[in-house]
Amino acid sequence: MKNSIIIIVLVFISAFAKVKAQTTHSLDTIYANDTKNVALFFPEPIRQGITGSDNFVFTYNREKEQYFGLLQAKPGKESNLLVLNRNGSIFSYIVRYKKRLSKLNYFIPLSSSIGNEKPIVKDSVLAESSEELGDISTYYYQKFCSYLLNRKQRIGRIKKRNEGIILTVENIVFDKDELYFVIEIENNSSLDYDLNLLNLSIETRQKGKRKSLQRLYQEPIYKHNLPSKIKENEKARFVYVLPKFSLSDDRRAILELNEKDGERNIEMKLSHRYINNPN
């Protein structure tokens, strides 16, 4: 009986040590530079890939999931790379800039995965490790929105003004299952602009003898850098992330900007052509 208890205790300690070792496992390092593409081949197609710093760029096919991605780097501090496969497997690496590279291709085994997007939690130790993974979707939205704000790409001249307040939709980008609206509010007036709301709705023209308009509000999945105030002679740029949608000829999107305790409101109509043909 005594020997059985000792064996059980030893098995428990061994299992706990293995779990601890997994959660504290040091990350492998991948080196890259700005003159060569470093290819990373994964056991399953890539669904998302995120770098922690702008001096590292990880590109992969966002339209059609593929097994490989390409990493490039500019001189700067080290960062990290987080990759999510189609089956939910998560891979994490330290990435560093190196002028001369000795390795250009990495074949990543499934055993290198640090966990799964939806792990099966059986005890409190595994629960703690799964919480450390954080909300990967939100992190992805943050990084991709920052990337879009740094780009100078435009979809057209979509602009409307009222009493020195200028509302502009700079870009509409499709990625995975979402539409990203890059928006700018410019305040050319002598008074600060306090933002009450900025809503996007879909307007449908009702056919028949009694023609009417019906609006359906679209709830954003994520809002990036949305300001509460735009000071005089300043501007603010931000991103709205919404589930992907398309519009027929008899529907259009409406962007409503409303001032808190003021009347400098703007209503902008977005044609179905912009929504159905994003960048």
Per-residue pLDDT for 164 more than 50?
yes
Q: What is the pLDDT of residue 251?
A: 87
pLDDT of 165 strictly over 90: yes
Q: Is the pLDDT of residue 198 over 70?
A: yes
Listed by start position, the domains of the chain span 25-134, 158-276
Residue 3 confidence (pLDDT) above 80 = no
**Structure token digits, residue 263:** 């009347």
Q: String of b and e for 36-63 (b: at least 16 CB within 10 Å)?
A: eebebebbbebbbbbbbbebbbbebeee
Top-confidence residue, 228 or 2: 228
Q: What is the pLDDT of residue 194?
A: 93
Mean pLDDT over residues 160-171, rounded?
93
Give the full edge-to-edge strand order of the sheet including 68-73: 56-59, 68-73, 38-41, 105-107
Name which of 15-24, 68-77, 135-144, 180-189 the model is least confident about. 15-24
Specify the CATH architecture of the domain 158-276: Sandwich (2.60)
Across the strands, what pairs with 173? 180
Q: What is the pLDDT of residues 48-60, one digit of tens each?
A: 888 988 899 999 9
Query: What would be the CATH architecture of the domain defined by 25-134?
Result: Sandwich (2.60)
Instruction: Report whether pLDDT(274) > 70.
Output: yes
pLDDT of 210 reads 58
In the block, residue with structure tokens 């502009």: 168
Q: Over the stretch 237-263, which tens digit does the pLDDT of each residue have?
A: 999 999 999 888 888 899 999 999 889
- Stretch 175-182: mean pLDDT, rounded? 90
Measured between alpha carbons, how far apart are the two ends of the chain, in Å? 70
pLDDT, tens digit (0-9, with 9 covering 90-100), for 201-210: 998 876 655 5
pLDDT tens digit string along 33-44?
999 999 999 988
Over residues 86-91, mean pLDDT: 88
Asked whether this chain's domains 25-134 and 158-276 adopt the same fold, the reply is: yes
Q: What is the pLDDT of residue 215?
A: 82
Which segment of 8-22, 95-109, 121-135, 213-227 scores lowest on mean pLDDT?
A: 8-22
Give this prediction's pTM. Answer: 0.56
| Dihedral over alpha carbons 69, 241, 92, 99 (to 10 degrees) | 50
CA distances from 213 to 177, 206, 256 (A): 28, 6, 15
Alpha helices in the chain (DSSP H): 2-23, 124-131, 136-150, 272-276
Q: What percent of the chain has pLDDT over 90?
A: 50
* pLDDT at residue 53 in the model: 86
Q: Using the 8-state DSSP alphabet, how is residue 42 labeled? A: -
Distances (CA, A) of 232 to 56, 153, 161, 192, 258: 36, 26, 15, 5, 17
Report the b/e string of 172-204 with b at 16+ CB within 10 A: bbbbeebbbbbbbbbbebeeebebeebebebbb
